[in-house]
Structure 1
Amino acid sequence: MTATASGTTVTGTPAAPAPVPFGLACGWYALSLLQGRIETHLEHALQAHDLSVREYSLLDVLSAQHDGDGGHLRMNQVADAVVLSQSATTRLVTRLEDRGLLERYLCPTDRRGIYTNVTPAGLALLTEARPTQDAALREALADARTDPRLVPLVETVEQLNRAAKR
C-alpha cells in the first residue's frame, strides 16, 4: 500500500494524518488554524452585507476615530490595525471611497496628511453588519471549541473580550 498525494492509499484506505507539530510550531499552527477558520466564517457571513472581512475591519477601525489630538489615524496606523500593507490599505480605502463609504480630506494642520473618515452611508452599513459579524464570530469560536488544539486559544480570545468590556 502506497500513499498518494491525495492522502489515501492505493487500496482506498485513508492514509494516516500528517503528524501534528510540537513545541512552538504547534502553537503557531493552532493560532493560524483558528485565525483561518474565523476569517472564513466571517467572510461568508459578511457577504450578506456586500462586505469583506478587511472592509468591515477598516470601517470599524475608522469609525472609532475622533476629532482632536491623536483622534485620526495615519495610513500606516490604519494598515497596522487592519493587518495589511500600506499599499493594500490604500487600495482598500479607494474601493470603499468609490462605494461612498469613506471620504478623504487634507489634515487642517498639516497639509501633507490625509485623513479618511467613514461617511454616513459607511456608518449605516457598519451598524447593519455589526450584529452579523458578532454572531458569526461567536459561531466560529463555538465551532473552534470542538477542536482540542484550539480550546486554549478560544479561551484566551474570550478573556480578552471580557477584559476589554471592563
Structure 2
Amino acid sequence: MSIAHDAPTALAQNWCALSSLHERIASRIERRLQAEHELSVREFSLLNVLSRQDEGKGGHLQMRQVADALVLSQSATTRLVTRLEDRGLLARTICADDRRGIYTNVTEEGAALLRAATPTNDAALREALDEARRDPELKPLVDALEATDMASSGIG
C-alpha cells in the first residue's frame, strides 16, 4: 500500500478545518451566552428560529421544521422546547384550524432575552472569526464565510 492512499485528502483536511472553525465559534459563543444570559447556543438558536417564523409565508413552523433548522432530532428539539417553556421563554398553543397542531411561540420574556443576547452572540462570533483569521488553515474559511455574508446582504 502506498503512502498516498494513507494521506488525508484535501477534502478531508478542509472538512477538519471547517469542523475546527465551527467548534471554536460555538465554544466562544456558548461561553459568552452562558455567562451573560444563562442561555446555551441551542437555546439562543431556538429562540431565533421561532422569533422569525412569522416572517415567512408559512407562518408557524412544524416541530420537524424547527428540528431541521437546529440540526437536532425531533425528540431533542421537543426537550429543548420544553426546557424553554418551563423558563417562560416559549409558549405552546393549539392551532385554531387543526386541533391536532401545536404552535410554539416566543413569549415577551423570550423575545426580550433574545434581543439582549443577540449583540452578545454577534460580538462572540466576530471575536471568534477574528481569532480564526490568524490561523493560516482557517483564514480561507473565514474569508469565504464573510464573502458569503457580504453577498447576501448586498455589500460588495
On whether the aligned pair clears a TM of 0.5, the verdict is yes
Q: Distance in 2 between matches of 1:27 and 1:145?
A: 15
One-letter amino acid matched to 2:73: S
Question: 1:54-93 maps to which residues of 2 (within 5 A)?
Answer: 54-66=42-54, 69-93=57-81
Ranked by relative contact order (alpha carbons within 8 Å, sequence separation 6 or more), the top structure is 2
- SS state of the match for residue 91, structure 2? strand
For 1:1-166, list aligned pairs within 5 A.
21-47=8-34, 48-66=36-54, 69-166=57-154
Relative to its length, the structure with more helix (as a share) is 2
Structure 2 CA distance for partners of 1:21 and 1:68, relative to 1, 3 Å: closer
Residue 16 of structure 2 aligns to a residue whose secondary structure is helix
Q: Which has the larger radius of gyration?
A: 1
Query: Which whole-Å deviations, capped at 9, do the CAs of 1:111-155 have from their partners, x for residues lacking one?
Result: 222111000000000000111100000000001101111111111
Write the deviation string for residues 80-115 of structure 1: whole angstroms up to 9, x where unpaired.
111111111100000000000000111222222211
Aligned-partner residue type, residue 104 of structure 1: R
1:163 to 1:72, Cα distance in 2 relative to 1, 3 A: farther
Which ranges of structure 1 fall in alignment gaps of 5 or more residues? Answer: 1-19
Aligned residues: 148
SS at match of 1:117: strand
- Partner amino acid, structure 2, of 1:107: C
TM-score in terms of structure 2 length: 0.89
Instruction: Tell me: CA distance 1:124–1:21, structure 2 relative to 1, closer, same or farther (3 Å).
Output: same
What secondary structure sits across from 1:103 in the alignment?
strand
- Please give the per-residue CA displacement for 1:14-48, whole angstroms capped at 9, x wherever unaligned: xxxxxx84321111101110100000000001011
- Percent of matched pairs sharing the same residue: 64
Q: How far apart are the structure 1 equivalents of 2:153 and 2:79?
A: 33
Moved more, 90-99 or 78-87: 78-87
Which TM-score applies when normalising by structure 1? 0.84
CA-atom RMSD in angstroms: 1.8
